[in-house]
Amino acid sequence: MLNASCLHRPELTAALASGDRKLDNLTVPYPRTFAAGTTIVQQGAEHDYVYRLRTGWVGRVRALPDGRTQYLMVFLPGDLFAIKSVFVAAHPDAVVALSDVTVERLAQHRLRDAFDTDPEIALRCTWQIVEEERRLHNWVVSLGQGSAEERIAHLLLEFSVRIGAATGTGRALEYGIPLTQDQLGNVLGLTSVHVNRVLRRLREDGLVSIRNRVVSIHDAPALERMAEPLRDATLQARARPETAAG
């Protein structure tokens, strides 16, 4: 499991997997379930658990005082979330179940002890945060520079890759998505109306369609071409390495 893109230094792979396995011993005995729409962690509240997502989709979302809302992260199975509980007292944003989900809970203080005594667990936790940072960087680029088309293409492809990686099969050309167009808008920084219009265009052009909460990628190369400018530069750089400067 662990992570999709495996951008970590190769010498860490074993330690990471080992750290992940060790989390099993720290989880509260029985997994817990939340129905779609449930708030798992309240915005602004203190919280004493960290979670490992087993099934379903979870989102971190911030509500602005005037009613606007923005999603900050979408978690898929295998992700650790609310890991900030270990370090900060209050969560500045809510964590909600986007679909029905099952999670394993880890008591914050126990994980914190393990963090101190077991470097592999510390590594696993830090890795999760580093990975989230990577996603956030891409998110900022997407929101700051991407057009609506580019953002949507990029997001649907990212889910495709992450789901594919989590399930072991390669990229998923068809996958369930629990997000409504309204939620997609709040992920992408767009209105649901515009999301709808762009999706229509993509559907009519035969690139991708969403029907009955299922994404079907019909023309992956074209979709990738569309999302290309927003693609994580790490991969591009690998294709044509450059010399480092002082």
Partner DNA sequence: CGCCTTCTTGATGCGGTTCAAGTAAAGTGG
Partner DNA sequence: CCACTTTACTTGAACCGCATCAAGAAGGCG
Distances (CA, A) of 124 to 75, 106, 133, 150: 16, 14, 14, 32
Tokens 């817990």 found at: 32
Q: 10 Å Cβ neighbour count for 169?
A: 10
Q: Report the chain's C-alpha Rg in angstroms.
A: 19
Is position 148 an interface residue for DNA (rule: CB under 7 A)? Answer: yes
Q: Are 152 and 230 in contact (CB under 8 A)?
A: no
The nearer residue to DNA, 56 or 78, going by C-beta atoms, is 56
Which of DNA, a copy of itself, none binds 205 (CB below 5-8 Å, type-dependent)?
none
Q: Is 147 a residue that touches DNA (CB under 7 A)?
A: yes
**Which listed range, 20-28, 64-72, 153-161, 167-175, lies at the site for a copy of itself (CB under 8 A)?**
64-72
When the beta carbons of 29 and 144 are compared against a copy of itself, the nearer one is: 144
Q: By CB under 7 A, is residue 117 in contact with DNA?
A: no
Contacts 24+ apart (CB under 8 A), 166-169: 166/1, 166/4, 166/76, 166/77, 166/78
Task: Tell whether residue 25 is a contact of a copy of itself (CB under 8 A).
Answer: no
Q: Among 29, 144, 168, 221, which residue sits at the site for a copy of itself (rule: CB under 8 A)?
A: 144
Q: Does 69 bind DNA (CB under 7 A)?
A: no
Q: Residue 109 is inside which H or E element, if any?
A: helix 108-117
Task: Find, among 166, 172, 146, the residue nearest to 79 by Cα.
Answer: 166
Helix orientation angle between 119-145 and 13-23, rounded to the nearest 10 degrees:
100
Give the x-and-dash track for 103-142 against a copy of itself (CB under 8 A): ------------xxx-x--xx-xxx-xx-xxx-xx-xxx-
Cβ-based neighbours of 150, under 8 Å, separated by 6 or more: 142, 226, 227, 229, 230
Minimal distance in Å, beta carbon 177 to a copy of itself? Answer: 19
Residue numbers 197-216 binding DNA by CB under 7 A: 197-200, 212-213
For the CB of residue 64, give the shortest distance to DNA in the complex, in Å: 12
| Residue choice 100, 149, 219, 232 for contact with DNA (CB under 7 A) | 149
Question: Contact positions toward DNA, by CB under 7 A?
Answer: 147-149, 180-182, 189-194, 196-200, 212-213
